[in-house]
Copies of this chain bind each other. A is one copy, B any other.
């Protein structure tokens, strides 16, 4: 199965040992396509993996540059797959994120890039997040 193969490859590429939890959680991300919060993952695979394992797996994925965090105002940080250019400790995301107020789905809108921001003297940017919230195309009547 192609998807499964590429998941193992992804883990190996980032020097991670291949475990059930990591394969499972990583495949959740590629299946969903959108961003996931810790709670989403826990609900989907709660029977299989301990809460602590999910926390640690997400943390590891962020450190290794497999997923990145998306800021939110509702105390539920979301995670999404990084693009290929991301390496450990060096995230490059120039796409914006859209959070639907209705269904809660978080989209990575790849078509739109974040404009370059000119900061005041002495401020140095390491990461820029552009989060748009509103109603998504599925929830629109």
Contact = CB atoms under 8 A, between A and B. Distances in A.
A101 interface: yes
* Copies of this chain: 2
Interface stretch (A15-23, A42-50, A127-135): A127-135
Interface residues of A, number: 39
B131 A71 contact: yes
Interface stretch (A4-12, A81-89, A116-124): A116-124
Contacts of A115: 115
B69 A70 contact: no
A39 interface: no
20 contacts: A70-B73, A71-B71, A71-B129, A71-B131, A73-B77, A101-B126, A109-B119, A112-B118, A115-B115, A119-B132, A121-B137, A122-B136, A123-B134, A123-B137, A123-B140, A124-B134, A126-B135, A128-B132, A129-B132, A130-B130
A125 interface: yes
